[in-house]
Chains A and B, each alone.
Chain A
Amino acid sequence: MKLLQNKVAELFKNGTINLMIGFKNALNKQVVPCFIENSSQAEQLIYTADCKNNLSVYLHKPEVKKIKKVGIIGNIATLRSLIQLTSENQLWDIEQTILTVNEKDEIILFKNMREVETYVQTYFPENHTEEDKKLLEYIDSLPREERWKYWMEQFSTCIKCYACRAVCPMCYCTQCTVECNQPQWIKISSETTGNLEWHIMRAMHLAGRCIECGECGRVCPVGIPIHLLTTKMNQELFKEFATRPGFSLKGEYAMNTFKPEDKEGFIK
């Protein structure tokens, strides 16, 4: 911990960063994002296995973009989202300093995005918890009508708080489709058909871009495992098109490219 705190203090002192987005301890034994603006505050910083938030979502905030020189620390999922966002040209106006801590507890400071790309490509990350894998297996094993019942029960509890959208680094549209009312594609109110459409739309807009950090499922106030929707889609996309988001700085991913020889078995 001290090493990390010292490193960050140094980055402030030599003017590399004016803001550090990291983690700190908070009440009820929780670990929360913290925003440090000078070297004396660096002693709050911690980095443990509980640091699961994907901090790259904060890089879209105008308040953060204004500060320009921003440091950020994260796990593999966060690094992948930084790569994906860079490939989508969303981080051109921030000078990022990216840090991570590997399994050997070594602090790695990346000189540029290429280094992040190389680091991420050496890992084939399994972000999924045992719980998630079991739940996915369980849902896959259900017959169609049971699957429908399962998801409809889940969606009926959705309160449309949009926490899933708010924490997702890939959801950066300044005006979301749900906020369009000419026409009102997705109902504002929380009722099951509208909720179903919202989640389908979100999963489709994230297809091939979601880097499976699992934040959406973690923050859902009613506990719907929505991260499984995009996880499943990513698995299918990898099976069909051998692409994975968040691994390459080239702006190509499954849904914005095509191959004339793509195959499917259901088009008549």
Chain B
Amino acid sequence: MEIKTINTTNISTFFNQLVQSGKIVIAPVLKKSGKIFFERVQSYNQIETDYIQTAFSAKSVVFPKVEELFSYSKTTDNFETKQSLSDIPETVVWGLRPCDSAAFNYMTRFFMDENPDIYFATRKERTTLIAISCAKSDEACFCTSVGLDPGKTKGSDIQLTLMGNEYYVEVITEKGLSAIKTSESLFTSSTEKSKEKYLAEPTTKFSIEEIKEKMQNAYDNVAWGQESMGCVGCGACAFACPTCTCFDIQDEGTGENGKRIRCWDACGFSQFTKHASGHNPKPNQTARRRQRLLHKFKYSVENIGMVSCVGCGRCIRICPAHLNIFENILNVTKA
């Protein structure tokens, strides 16, 4: 790990040099609708710098909303299949929050444990993550309740923290080092500094260790009904969530040619768990919402040892009924 600083007047030069290096640069952009999304940009003046959180996560960089797994076409007496991993470009994601970086860690465990997913692996390998520590938070943020904080560097290749008129730069990985290589003259070496007074202070809603324990017995709690009443069964929370990785595989094509694609799916949809027999093990929204929360705070822990929630609060902000995940957790773990 190397520690550097860069003057705020030079940050746009660094950014534009990243663009000029030929990599695809994805950063937060303010749209006409007033929401902020991660999109491809060509220069620093297109990006939004004053915001708490983007509407959607940056997971589509490594886990796109639609991904072609392979394509097929009929030849004279056979079929030909083509897999196109070489088209995936080198990408830099700028402006992630520490919760988002930690989510990339979770996704790496999910996709690479046991049966490595080559599509995810290729994309992740070609992606550099540059995070910016949070100076502000709102009431939906709860990263400190899930073992993270507004300055944590877990998962980032480079982390920037704004300290007055300069950015404190933590270059954590080899990828981070090679990203700043061509702009080295803009950076100055530095000693370790404390970030604490420059970071946001989201209130801690619960202790994750306590919750992990209490969730063991939460399945039968009658509170699930009340906590899930507001859920209308859309996929907004799952699609916005940086750690939700459920997908559907579909074949689109004709007898002559077509492709197999993987696209996002959501556990809130009523047909998500429907069997071919017609039986649906999660027949109502209460069962589906319970499954979602237990998955994040119990089953993920059992399967890969990580809570699959980073406390970014996107689900709360984007939900049509603003269902509150940490309130739900607290209410279903009450004795």
Indicate if A touches B (C-beta under 8 A).
yes
Binding site for B on A (CB under 8 A): 26-28, 30, 32-35, 37, 53, 57-58, 61-64, 159-163, 165-167, 174-175, 179, 184, 187-191, 215, 218-219, 221-224
A-B contacts, 9 of them at CB < 8 A, read A27-B140, A32-B230, A58-B230, A61-B229, A62-B284, A63-B286, A219-B234, A221-B56, A223-B32
Q: Report A-chain residues with C-beta under 8 Å of the C-beta of B271.
A: 175, 179
Instruction: Report Cα–Cα, A97/B244, bound state, in Å.
Output: 39
Q: Are B226 and A61 in contact (CB under 8 A)?
A: no
Cα-based distance from A181 to B199 in the complex (angstroms): 50
B250 at the interface (CB under 8 A from A): yes
Q: A61-B285, A189-B66 are in contact. Are A159 and B321 (CB under 8 A)?
A: no
* Shortest distance from the beta carbon of B244 to any chain A beta carbon, whole Å: 12
Q: What DSSP secondary structure best describes chain B's contact surface? A: loop
Which residues from B are CB-within-8-Å of A189?
A: 65-66, 250, 252, 261, 263
Residues in B whose Cβ lies below 8 Å from that of A159: 65, 235, 239, 264
- Asked if B321 and A32 make an inter-chain contact with CB atoms under 8 angstroms apart, the answer reads yes
Number of interchain pairs (Cβ within 8 Å): 113
Which of B35, B232, B239, B270 is A223 in contact with, Cβ under 8 Å?
A: B35
The stretch of B1-9, B82-90, B312-320 that contacts the partner chain: B312-320
Task: Say yes or no: B35 contacts A222, CB within 8 Å.
Answer: yes
Given A33-B230, A37-B226, 14 other A-B contacts at CB below 8 A? A26-B322, A27-B316, A63-B225, A63-B286, A160-B235, A161-B234, A161-B236, A167-B232, A188-B248, A189-B261, A191-B66, A221-B240, A221-B318, A222-B55
* Contact in complex: B324, A27 (CB < 8 Å): yes
Known interface pairs A188-B248, A221-B236. Does A215 touch B320 (Cβ–Cβ under 8 Å)? yes
Name the interface residues of B223-277: CB closer than 8 Å to any CB of A: 225-226, 228-230, 232-236, 238-240, 248, 250, 252, 261, 263-264, 266, 269-271
Nearest A residue (CB) for B326: A27
Residue on B with the closest CB to A219? Answer: B320
Question: Is B75 at the interface (CB under 8 A from chain A)?
Answer: no
| A179 proximity list for chain B (CB < 8 A) | 271
Chain A residues with CB under 8 Å of B234's CB are: 161-163, 165-167, 219
Alpha-carbon distance between A21 and B230 when the two chains are bound, in angstroms = 9
Q: Return chain A residues, CB-CB under 8 Å to B261.
A: 189
**Closest approach, in angstroms, between the C-beta of A256 and any C-beta of chain B?**
26
| A209–chain B nearest beta-carbon distance, Å | 18
The docked-state distance in angstroms from the alpha carbon of A145 to that of B178 is 45
A166, A190, A191: the one within 8 Å of B233 (CB)? A166
Q: How far is the CA of A221 from the CA of B230 in the complex (A)?
A: 17
List residues of B (300-335) whose CB comes within 8 Å of A's CBs: 316-318, 320-324
Are A33 and B266 closer than 8 Å at their CB atoms?
Answer: no
B324 touches A26 (CB 8 A): yes
| Known A28-B317, A188-B248, A189-B252; contact A163-B235, beta-carbon cutoff 8 A | yes
Most buried by B among A58, A63, A159, A224: A159
Say yes or no: A35 contacts B232, CB within 8 Å: no
CB distance from B74 to the nearest CB of A (A): 20
Q: Which A residues are CB-close (under 8 A) to B230? A: 32-35, 58
